[in-house]
Amino acid sequence: MDALREYLAAAFPPPAVVLGQQLQPFSLGHYLRLLSTDNWFSGQSKSSEPDLGDLVQAVWICCQTWEECEAGCADPKLPEKLKIWGRSILGGRRWWSRRRGFNFFAEAEKLIRYIQAGSTCPKLTEPKGGETVGAPFIQRVLLLLQAELGHSRLEALDKPWGLAKWDYWAYWEGEGALRILDAETNPHLQMIEEMDRAIERIVARGETISVEKLSAEMYPKGEEDNGLRPESKN
């Protein structure tokens, strides 16, 4: 995928419904709130696996703006209200029934896909000088959106997280600190992306990955490989 299409996907993430709730585009503020509550779906939790409380809390966070969520979090009775809210949405929607049951893992997978789609980032060259700062990445993005790109704090917090990262790295590209890579003009990057897709297809068929199988999947017989076909080891 070329850089423009990846940027547009970050700017306009697909809509998502989890637990029957329409979610807002996954934002910087959503990610910050998931981190602050040690929610499993933040990807940084100390918990080894998610539970229903993580799922309900994450959906509650992600179906609101930062301001709405902040008001709710100020309520000392929020934990109890979340339990009541969770029971109400699990038992009061047409998509759920006692006969059919509730598929926790299907809903959790939908939430994971929603977060992944809203967290994309451009492929980059190594920043000049490497990463030498100690501040958390999310804080640096939030500060740059406000200090350099003119966002208010609320605008920055409600900005789609993937789009915020694209703007962050595009700013530093403009400063000459790195380059955003484009598969359309970089054949080696294009090959890496095709390799990833080929691996996914092989794994989906339940087959074992090998160099020969990967090469055959990427370059069917008679198809041009532009000299980028990986060599087999005898």
> How would you write the pLDDT of the chain (234 residues) with one tens digit per residue?
588 889 999 999 999 999 999 999 999 999 999 999 999 999 999 888 999 999 999 999 999 999 999 999 999 999 999 988 888 877 654 444 444 567 889 999 999 999 999 999 988 887 776 556 789 999 999 999 999 999 999 999 999 999 999 999 999 999 999 888 876 555 555 556 677 777 878 888 878 877 777 778 777 764 444 444 444 444
In a domain? residue 106? yes
Check residue 98 and give its pLDDT.
47
Helices (H), the chain: 3-11, 28-36, 52-62, 66-73, 78-91, 104-117, 137-147, 153-157, 161-174, 187-204, 211-218
Whether residues 109 and 187 fall in one domain: no
Check residue 35 and give its pLDDT.
96
What's the pTM? 0.74
**Residues 4, 183 contacting (CB under 8 angstroms):** no
Q: How many CA atoms lie within 13 A of 144 on its CB side?
A: 18
Count of residues in the chain: 234
Query: 17: which DSSP letter?
Result: E
Whether residues 96 and 21 fall in one domain: yes
In a domain? residue 60? yes
In a domain? residue 19? yes
Check residue 227 and give its pLDDT.
47
Sorted by sequence, the CB contacts under 8 Å of residue 102 that are 6+ apart come out as 90, 96
Number of domains forming the structure of the chain: 2
**Rounded Cα–Cα distance for residues 118 and 165 (Å):** 10
Check residue 217 and give its pLDDT.
79
What residues make up the domain containing 83? 12-117
In a domain? residue 26? yes
Whether residues 199 and 103 fall in one domain: no
In a domain? residue 61? yes
Check residue 183 and give its pLDDT.
62
Whether residues 113 and 20 fall in one domain: yes
In a domain? residue 153? no
**Residues 19, 56 contacting (CB under 8 angstroms):** yes
Dig out the tokens for 103 from the structure. 């598929």
**Rounded Cα–Cα distance for residues 17 and 190 (Å):** 32
